[in-house]
Amino acid sequence: MALIKSLRGYTPYWGDNCFFAENATVIGDVQMGNHCTVWFNAVIRGDVNSIRFGDYCNVQDGAVIHCTYQKTKTIVGNRVSIAHNAIVHGCTIEDDVLIGMGAIVMDGAHIKSGAIIAAGAIVLANSVVDENTIWGGNPAKFIKYTGEKVSEIQRIANNYPKYAAWFQEESSEK
């Protein structure tokens, strides 16, 4: 069972058909929509400010979602994939976004719809990533426009509830 912990009068809330891996951690002022998944060793820590997710979001293995006390909330739209070991901190991520493996998105950054943050990229504080663009590097910079990749971003996000069902089926068979 995942560690779901109330703190400072806030209890995490999530919608229908969500999945939390056994060693995922969700703390405090966190709200998630429907069909969200939080994978192994992921931490979503709404202890110092609020964290909000839309529907069909996935927080993959080892990712950390946090915010800054009295300064920055973390807001994540619909169909957002936050890949393995990424860090998302006190920023806004709109719909249909892919945050790549090991990427870091810092306080005050705004990632607009259809964007891809490449694996290992570091999006500096207060950066604005335009819609339908790919950013990569350290510090992250514009690489190119995504073209038709929004449907691929949506496909990834829509697949994660299916993957979660595999784990739920295994649990029910025992």
Q: How many angstroms separate the CA atoms of 21 and 168, rounded? A: 10
Token output for 75: 């807001």
Residue for token digits 């784990």? 167
Q: What is the CATH number of the domain that holds 152?
A: 2.160.10.10
Domain containing residue 111? 3-173
pLDDT score for 174: 54
pLDDT > 70? residue 73: yes
* 169, amino acid identity: E
Q: How many angstroms separate the CA atoms of 34 and 85, rounded? A: 23
The strand pair at 141-145 and 133-136 is best described as antiparallel
Provide the whole-model pTM: 0.96
Q: How many angstroms separate the CA atoms of 3 and 133, rounded? A: 35
Lowest mean pLDDT segment, chosen from 51-55, 69-73, 90-94, 144-148: 144-148
Strand segments (E) across 33-127: 37-38, 43-53, 58-59, 64-66, 74-76, 81-82, 87-89, 92-93, 98-99, 104-105, 110-111, 116-117, 122-123
Q: Which of 36, 24, 26, 34 is nearest to 4 (CA)?
A: 26
Report how many domains make up the chain: 1
C-beta separation of 141 from 115 below 8 A? no
Q: How confident is the model at residue 1 (pLDDT cuts 50, 70, 90)?
A: confident
Q: Which of 115, 122, 103, 127 is nearest to 152 (CA)?
A: 115
